[in-house]
Structure 1
Amino acid sequence: MTRPIRIGLQLQPQHADYADIRRTVAAAEEAGTDIVFNWDHFYPLSGDPDGKHFECWTMLGAWAEATSRVEIGALVTCNSYRNPDLLADMARTVDHMSGGRLILGIGAGWFQRDYDEYGYDFGTPGSRLADLAQALPRITARWAELNPPPTRDIPILIGGGGEKKTLRCTAEHANIWHAFGDLETFTRKSAILDQHCADMGRDPAEIERSVGVQRSPDEIGDALVEAGATLFTVGQDGPDYDLGLLKEWIAWRDARR
Structure 2
Amino acid sequence: MTSSPRPIRIGVQLQPQHSPTYGHIRDAVRRAEDIGIDVAFNWDHFFPLYGDPDGAHYECWTMLAAWAEQTSRLEIGALVTCNSYRNPDLLADMARTVDNISDGRLILGIGSGWKQKDYDEYGYDFGTAGSRIDDLTAALPRITARLGKLNPAPLRDIPILIGGQGERKTLRLVAEHAHIWHGFTDGDTYPAKAAVLDRHCADVGRDPAAIERSSGVPETSVEAALAGAQTLVDLGVTLLTVGVNGPDYDLSIAEALVKWRDDRAAG
Measured against the shorter chain, the TM-score band is over 0.9
Q: TM-score, normalised by structure 2?
A: 0.95
Aligned equivalent of 1:245: 253
**Displacement, 1:181?**
2.8
Identity of aligned residues (%): 68
- The answer for unaligned runs of 5 or more in structure 1 is none
Runs of 5+ consecutive residues of structure 2 not aligned to the other structure: none
Structure 1 residue 217 displacement after superposition: 4.3
Q: Which amino acid aligns with 2:216?
A: G
Distance 2:113 2:226 in 1: 33
| Counterpart for residue 195 of structure 2 | 191
Alignment of 1:67-106 (within 5 A): 67-106=71-110
User: Structure 1 residue 123 and structure 2 residue 123: aligned?
Assistant: no
Which residue type is aligned with residue 236 of structure 1?
Answer: V
Residue in 2 that maps onto 1:3: 6
The question of 1:232 aligning with 2:235 is answered no
Aligned-residue CA RMSD (Å)? 0.9
Question: What displacement does 1:224 show?
Answer: 1.0
Counterpart in the other structure of 1:222:
230
Equivalenced residues, count: 257
TM-score, length of structure 1 as denominator length:
0.98
Q: Distance in 2 between matches of 1:53 and 1:77?
A: 15
Greater displacement, 219-228 / 9-18: 219-228
Question: Which residue identity does 1:34 align to in structure 2?
Answer: D
Q: How far has the Cα of 1:179 moved from its partner? A: 1.7
Residues 28 and 249 of structure 2 are in contact (CA less than 8 Å); yes or no, is this contact kept in structure 1? yes
**Aligned residue identity for 1:5:** I
Give the AA of the match of 2:247. P
The 8 Å contact of residues 8 and 239 in structure 2, kept in 1 or not, is answered as yes
Task: Provide the secondary structure at the position in 2 that maps to 1:99.
Answer: coil
**Partner Cα distance (1:218, 1:12) in 2:** 21
Contact 2:212 2:239 in 1 (8 A): yes
Q: Per-residue deviation at 1:184?
A: 1.8
User: Which residue pairs with 2:264 in the alignment?
Assistant: 256
Please give the secondary structure, in 2, of the residue aligned with 1:184: coil
Q: Distance in 2 between matches of 1:103 and 1:157?
A: 7
1:123-151: per-residue Cα shift (whole Å, max 9, x none)? Answer: 00000000001100000000111111111
Counterpart CA distance in 2 for 1:135 and 1:239 is 34
The one-letter code of the counterpart of 1:23 is D
